[in-house]
Amino acid sequence: MNACPPEPGRPVHGTLYDDMTELPDTSIREEPIPRQEDENHPADDAVWLGKADWIALAVALGLAVLVRAVYLVQSLHWPYLDQPISDAALYVDRARGVLAGYWPAHNMAHSQGPLYPYLLAAVLAITETWRLLLYAQMAIGCASVALVYLIARRGGNTLSAVLATLLCVAYGPLVANEGKLLTESLATFLSLLAVYGLVRQIDAIRWGWIAVIGIALGAAAGLRPSYLMVVPLAAAWVGWRHRRIGGRPLLAAAVMAALAALMIAPWTYQNYRAERVFIPISSAGGITFFLGNNPTAAGTLSLGGVLSGGVGTQNEEQLARAEAVLGRKLNSAQASSFWYKRALRFIYEHPRWWAWIMWRKLRLHFSSVEVANVYSFHVERSVIPVLWVLAVPFGLIGSLGLVGLVLSARRPAAHPILILLGVGLLTCMVFYTSSRFRMPTVPLMAILAGWGVQRAIAWWTEGRRTKTLAALGATLCLTVLMLWPVGGPLPSPMLFGKRNLALMLGRAGEPDRGRAILQSQLQPDVPIDDRGEAYLALGRLESDQRRYPEAITALTKALELDPRNFAPYRDLAKANYEFGRYSQAADNARALLDKNQRDIECRVILGRCLARQKRWAEAVAELEKAAQLAPSNPGVLYYLGDAYMGLHQYDKAIEAFRQSSRHTENVDIMISLAYCHAQINQRDQARAILARILARDPENRRAKALVQKIGGLAPRGR
């Protein structure tokens, strides 16, 4: 019989089914099968997080908030939150310059990532204190913990995500760094945000996340210019990943790169406007390359005998040294090229020496030693108890992360992490190693560690015990290697950190505690370089307390112990000037200017010393040079105007005071400006200025005396 089978659930007539009026529906209907999650295809958003994940994520965030709250409370007894030093102090100065209108300089390209001073300036404009930014960084640190969980979960299971998150929560330097005015905590968050966005591109192009990736990487480059290298690699990965899937991968890559370029465009424009050269973000690449690759380098920052170590003067010093060698004026790009060439010449002439330096960089990068160049984590941990609890060393995270990298390298979710890790390692190998610079890579290593543990457990449950034991053995060997002392020439993080802590205590109103900390480093058995740095720190502490004779004694001792370090000359010049020893201060300033003709502070000190000695023409010459280097610095312009007054050149003095007053509402500047107007018989202008001063401060004696001198505020005859 050639009859076709009846349709299920429908009466059939003219067949043996005629006696059945209705048949039950026995067909098998196709139900949608939930997408199964695996390492190559993360689950869809609607199903990828279960109840256990939400609980684990909430616990991890609770722990992150708790340790940061305890850290903040315990830090209140120490000056880490309120006494910025080195790079942090420089960011504060630049932020205030943004608010006053004299930073960035109109004649100089950016020498560091410029975004952070603007963020700090926005906070200072709101609250007049930077505590709000520190609190925001702590909150962003908690958000970074959440991103670690989400990234690890999308490429692994709940166990791997929990392990990765706990490693980050228990790594003390991440928490300590968030309580400093430094860029790394924000850069860490932005890099994790970019990685999460890239992981979301595995199965399909998601345009919203493409925009987030471009903006995040562009902002990260504004903080740390090395992130600029990530942009083309990330864009290429998106294009390669979707080369067969479709969805306009080239357009997605172009949009990502364009948004990143748009984020750095303001810095590029500022640099071009200042020097008429193309510098995408900052001009410090050449000198930073030299500081990590020179005859005195050993894997970390080395001044190479050409810089004094002052962060605020580094750019002027490297420009001045390059100009002195070449005998001509250079722009920032030319000076950077000079230092690149000088370092490359050293590498070419001493390849074995350089190979040893590179080995040291690699060894330090994967060592548990927290190499300090601003704050010392080792010292901070000794005074803030919660950091002892957060005791997971980098050696454990690093060893688990390297093994996890090998075991999970084929996962698509691992590819964006490998890009960020590669750029981070390359940056430290090309320039120099620091705990700060490797910090954004720590959460990425923790994610790989979680995936590696997941794979090892899967092998064990499948009965593949040999592979599991091999992974465990490799982890143990790498952990021992990373925990093993590096040895060789390495600055002591404890001594370095204690010197900075002493300075911070002095500025916080506890100079006796600072002196007590420094005393142990002034003993004859301390290495001579560390002893010289300790005397330098003591001299600065005494200067901050206005104990100038003691400061001069300590700074002189620092010069005797290390004549190659010319940084004490600047501090000696300031101390001698404040103590009224103008000839000695001028000699100190000239000694430093012989090393660095672009040192603005010493040029101003020299000009002020000459003015105090009534050598007005020489003072004007020095201060005009300072004004050429810093044409919008209100302090320089004020002292220049004062020197013009000494020469009775009141028209020039008025112009200098006017330019200075554009950037700051300073009463001394306004009174000097009124005095100059009065001296050239422009009394109406003088009265207008004095009226504004007295409206704000009716008891200002200088203003009242000048009003009396010019015959009152009301013009005569009215």
Which of these, 441, 182, 120, 495, lies nearest to 311 by C-alpha position?
Answer: 182
Average pLDDT, the chain: 89
Question: Which DSSP string corresponds to 8-28?
Answer: TTS---SSTTTT-S-------
Q: For residue 532, count CB atoms less than 10 angstroms from its CB and return exposed for 0-12, middle for 13-18, buried for 19 or more.
A: buried
Average pLDDT of the segment spanning 538-553: 96
In the predicted model, is pLDDT for residue 37 greater than 80? Answer: no
**And the tokens for 244?**
């067969």
In the predicted model, is pLDDT for residue 602 greater than 70? Answer: yes
Average pLDDT of the segment spanning 161-176: 96
Q: pLDDT (tens digit, 9 = 90+) per residue, 443-502?
A: 999 999 999 999 999 999 999 999 999 999 999 999 999 999 887 767 778 888 999 999
Which pLDDT value is given to residue 11?
Answer: 41
H or E segment and range at residue 558 = helix 548-561
Min mean pLDDT across 259-263, 587-591, 603-607, 712-716 is at 712-716
In the predicted model, is pLDDT for residue 15 greater than 60? Answer: no
pLDDT bucket at 247, cuts 50 / 70 / 90: low
Which pLDDT value is given to residue 313?
Answer: 87
Which of these, 132, 185, 177, lies nearest to 387 by C-alpha position?
Answer: 177
Q: pLDDT (tens digit, 9 = 90+) per residue, 621-648?
A: 999 999 999 888 899 999 999 999 999 9
**And the tokens for 402?**
């390297």
Which pLDDT value is given to residue 485?
Answer: 87
Cβ-based neighbour number of residue 220 at 10 Å: 30
Which pLDDT value is given to residue 186?
Answer: 97
Beta strands in 57-130 (DSSP E): none
In the predicted model, is pLDDT for residue 335 greater than 80? Answer: yes
Which pLDDT value is given to residue 36?
Answer: 41
Q: What letters, b where the CB count within 10 A reaches 16 and e where it falls short, cover 139-165? A: eebbebbbbbbbbbbbbbbbbbbbbbb
Q: For residue 330, count CB atoms less than 10 angstroms from its CB and return exposed for 0-12, middle for 13-18, buried for 19 or more.
A: middle
- Higher-pLDDT residue of 717 and 252 is 252
Q: pLDDT (tens digit, 9 = 90+) per residue, 100-114?
A: 888 998 889 999 999
| Cα Rg of the chain, angstroms | 32
Q: pLDDT (tens digit, 9 = 90+) per residue, 59-74?
A: 999 999 999 999 999 9
Compute the distance between CA of residue 57 and CA of residue 52 in angstroms, rounded to an integer. Answer: 9
Which pLDDT value is given to residue 48?
Answer: 67
In the predicted model, is pLDDT for residue 8 greater than 60? Answer: no
In the predicted model, is pLDDT for residue 214 greater than 80? Answer: yes
In the predicted model, is pLDDT for residue 653 greater than 90? Answer: yes
SS in 3 state form for 397-461? HHHHHHHHHHHHCCCCCHHHHHHHHHHHHHHHHHCCCCHHHHHHHHHHHHHHHHHHHHHHHHHHH
For the chain, report the end-to-end CA distance as a whole number of angstroms: 128
Which amino acid appears at position 78 of this protein? W
Compute the distance between CA of residue 131 and CA of residue 127 in angstroms, rounded to an integer. Answer: 9
In the predicted model, is pLDDT for residue 530 greater than 80? Answer: yes
In the predicted model, is pLDDT for residue 522 greater than 80? Answer: yes
Which of these, 621, 556, 566, 664, lies nearest to 313 by C-alpha position?
Answer: 566
Min mean pLDDT across 3-17, 396-410, 694-708 is at 3-17
**Residue 558 near residue 566 (C-beta atoms within 8 A):** no
**Residue 357 near residue 298 (C-beta atoms within 8 A):** yes
**Residue 619 near residue 646 (C-beta atoms within 8 A):** yes
Compute the distance between CA of residue 207 and CA of residue 455 in angstroms, rounded to an integer. Answer: 32
Average pLDDT of the segment spanning 355-375: 92
At 171, is the secondary structure helix, strand, or coil? strand
Cβ-based neighbour number of residue 195 at 10 Å: 27
- Higher-pLDDT residue of 46 and 620 is 620
Q: Above pLDDT 90, what percent of the chain?
A: 76
Name residue, tokens 């100190």: 588
Which pLDDT value is given to residue 204?
Answer: 87
Which pLDDT value is given to residue 716?
Answer: 55
pLDDT bucket at 718, cuts 50 / 70 / 90: very low
Average pLDDT of the segment spanning 417-427: 96
Q: Above pLDDT 70, what percent of the chain?
A: 92
Average pLDDT of the segment spanning 25-46: 42
Min mean pLDDT across 171-180, 280-289, 701-710 is at 701-710
pLDDT bucket at 333, cuts 50 / 70 / 90: very high
Which pLDDT value is given to residue 63?
Answer: 97
pLDDT bucket at 26, cuts 50 / 70 / 90: very low
Average pLDDT of the segment spanning 119-143: 95
Compute the distance between CA of residue 70 and CA of residue 612 in angstroms, rounded to an integer. Answer: 52
Which pLDDT value is given to residue 246?
Answer: 61
At 391, is the secondary structure helix, strand, or coil? strand
Which amino acid appears at position 461 of this protein? T
Q: pLDDT (tens digit, 9 = 90+) per residue, 115-129?
A: 999 999 999 999 888
Helices (H), 293-393: 314-326, 332-349, 351-365, 377-383, 386-389
| 249-256 LR contacts (CB < 8 Å, sep 24+) | 249/205, 252/201, 252/205, 252/207, 252/210, 255/207, 255/210, 255/211, 255/214, 256/210, 256/211, 256/213, 256/214, 256/217, 256/231
